[in-house]
Amino acid sequence: MAHIIAPSLLAADFTELRSAVQLVDESQAQWLHLDVMDGVFVPNISFGPAIIKAIRPLTKKVFDTHLMIVDPDRYITAFKEAGADLLTVHEEACTHLHRTVQAIKAARMKAGVSLNPHTPIGSLEDIIADLDLVLIMSVNPGFGGQKFIENTYSKLDRLRDLRAQKGSNALIEVDGGVGAVNYRNLVEHGADVLVAGNSVFGTDDPMAAISALLK
């Protein structure tokens, strides 16, 4: 399977959200990555369901929604109603992760779990068979434009082993500091989905940047 590119709207010009979404819609990117931050789980605050709902009519691309919020169970229905296709929660933010994953699926969305750079792959051992996606943070979440953490490669190798061992079909997504210099290596280490913020919207030609990440 060819890998998927998920441009992150966080890196777009917020005064021009419509054109950013339209650009992704017309591009070869298959998903749009939406970073929701609450100022508690991460130091930054971004946007929530109202913005997602507002841009939903602009594209049919998969809304890959990354919740960097505490106690995400409170908002599952709100994100479903806003038009999220896939809801990813952080392992570190969920006391009853199994229950949260089941609630996302019951709301008829795909369910993902994200791990911060310090969280071991082993924490997914008893949940990976239930997941549609695992999101590996290759920076500490909260901000775009950070430096890629090299330990991510060995983490991906261990995740691929665990996925096979547990018979899981979860896609593997990598988020943070992904761009032209490392995308091939990440795909070789098993990444199915690459999030790209600044390496797309921070360039003069985001459309060409997306195409380049698919080569």
Catalytically annotated residues: 35, 175
Q: Is 38 in the site for Zn ion (CB under 5 A)?
A: no
Contact region with Zn ion (CB under 5 A), list: 34-42, 70-78, 85-93, 162-170 = 34-42
Which one, 147 or 215, has the nearer CB to ligand DX5? 147
Query: Is residue 151 within 8 Å of 139, Cβ to Cβ?
Result: no
Contact 112, 90 (CB under 8 A): no
Distance (Å, whole) CA 161 – CA 143: 29
**Interaction of residue 175 with ligand DX5, rule CB under 6 A:** yes
Among 196, 209, 210, 213, binds ligand DX5 (CB under 6 A): 196
Query: Whole-angstrom Cα distance, residue 136 to residue 215?
Result: 22
CA dihedral 70, 72, 78, 82 (to 10 degrees): 90
Listed residue (85, 122, 92) closest to 4, CA to CA: 85
Q: Which two tokens stand for residue 125?
A: 């051992």
Q: Closest distance between ligand DX5 and the C-beta of residue 22, in Å?
A: 19
Number of residues that bind ligand DX5 (CB under 6 A): 22
Tell me: does residue 178 bind ligand DX5 (CB under 6 A). Answer: yes
Nearest to 102 by CA among 89, 115, 120, 114: 89
> In the complex with ligand DX5, which residue's Cβ is closer, 23 or 126?
23
Binding of ligand DX5 by 80 (CB under 6 A): no
Q: How far is the CB of 86 from ligand DX5 (least distance, A)?
A: 14
Per DSSP, what are the bridge partners of residue 126? Answer: none
| Cβ closest to ligand DX5, residue 35 vs residue 38 | 35
Please say whether the beta carbons of 67 and 101 come within 8 A. Answer: no
Give the chain's length: 215
Stretch that binds Zn ion, among 24-32, 42-50, 90-98, 172-180 (CB under 5 A): 172-180
Binding site for Zn ion (CB under 5 A): 35, 66, 175
Binding site for ligand DX5 (CB under 6 A): 8, 10-11, 33, 35, 66, 139, 141-146, 175-178, 195-199
